[in-house]
Amino acid sequence: MIFRKRKINHEIDPGKLPEHIGIILDGNGRWATKRGLPRSAGHSAGADTLKKIVTECNNMGIKYITVYAFSTENWSRPKEEVDFLMNLLLNYLRNAEKTLAGENVVIRAIGSRTELSEEIRQQILKTEAFTANNTGIVMNIALNYGGREEIVHAVKNICTDITDGKLNPEEIDEKLFSEYLYTVGQPDIDLLIRTSGEQRLSNFLLWQNSYAEMWFTRKLWPDFTVHDLHNAIIDYQNRGRRFGGIQK
Ligand code: IPE
Ligand code: IPE
Ligand code: MG
CATH of the domain at 220: 3.40.1180.10
pTM score = 0.95
The predicted pLDDT at position 103 comes to 84
pLDDT tens per residue across all 248 residues of the chain: 344 444 447 899 999 999 999 999 999 999 999 999 999 999 999 999 999 999 999 999 999 999 999 999 999 999 999 999 999 999 999 998 778 767 899 999 999 999 999 999 999 999 999 999 999 999 999 999 999 999 999 999 999 999 999 999 999 999 999 999 999 999 999 999 999 999 999 999 999 999 999 999 999 999 999 999 999 999 999 999 999 999 87
By CB atoms closer than 10 A (0-12, 13-18, 19+), residue 71 is buried
Give a yes or no: residue 6 inside a domain. Answer: no
Q: Is 133 a catalytic residue?
A: no
Number of domain units in the chain:
1
Domain contains 111: yes
Say if 178 falls within a structural domain. Answer: no
Candidates 128, 100, 102, 110; CA nearest to 20 is 110
For the CA of 85, the nearest ligand = 1
Residue 194 lies in a domain: yes
Residue 91 lies in domain: 17-146+188-237
Which atom of ligand 2 is the closest one to the Cα of 202?
Answer: 14
Ligand number nearest CA of 27 is: 1
Query: Which pLDDT score is estimated for 99?
Result: 81
- Ion ligand 3 residues within 5 Å by Cβ: 26
Out of 9, 13, 26, 95, pick the active-site residue.
26
Tell me whether residue 232 is in a domain: yes
Q: Which helix (H) or strand (E) element contains residue 87? A: helix 79-96
The reply to whether 166 falls in a domain is no
Helix 79-96 / helix 118-131 crossing angle, nearest 10 deg? 30
> So what's the pLDDT on residue 102?
75
Closest Cα to atom 3, ligand 1: which residue?
26
> What atom in ligand 1 is closest to the CA of residue 198?
12
Q: How many C-alpha atoms does 60 have within 13 Å on its Cβ side?
A: 30
Q: Is 173 within a domain?
A: no
